[in-house]
Amino acid sequence: QVQLVESGGGLVQPGGSLRLSCAASGSIFGISAMGWYRQAPGKQRELVAIITSIGSTHYADSVKDRFTISRNNAKNTLYLQMNSLKPEDTAVYYCNWGTTIASYWGQGTQVTVSS
């Protein structure tokens, strides 16, 4: 059975950096894309970044040039490198691995950017 385990969240000062990881246990076949989403209190969940099955990346305008999505296929792990963090980046971050017929979500990890 597939499980996505997230790690790397925490408290950081504005301008700091964090690296989130999302590791899959079990096999996910036919992956179309992997992505990171976030949800702040009182707000809807929003797409942060995605990487397609062929390696193309796309970012929300609010994080472009600050965040980098990547994957290590050998380790079956998805990453989100977050630099120059701002208070408005504070949210619960969720990883998602999508196939043509199903979507899998991580449990979420809290990122808090505050001085």
- List beta partners, residue 51: 34, 57
Residue 109: alpha-carbon gap to chain centroid: 9
**Secondary structure (3-state) at 78:** strand
The structure tokens listed for 74 are: 């050998």
Sign of CA dihedral 96, 7, 37, 56: negative
CA distance 99 to 8: 25
Instruction: Note the pLDDT of residue 65.
Output: 97
pLDDT above 90 for 30:
no
pLDDT value at residue 31: 77
The tens digit of pLDDT for each residue in 65-108 reads 999 999 998 888 999 999 999 999 999 999 999 988 889 999 99
CA 58 to chain centre: 12
pLDDT at 1 over 90: no
> Tell me: the pLDDT tens digits for 44-68?
999 999 999 889 999 999 999 999 9
pLDDT of residue 107: 96
Bridge partner residues of 58 (DSSP): 50
Phi, psi of 31 (to 5 degrees): -65, 130
> Which pairing describes strands 67-72 and 103-105: parallel, antiparallel, or unpaired?
unpaired
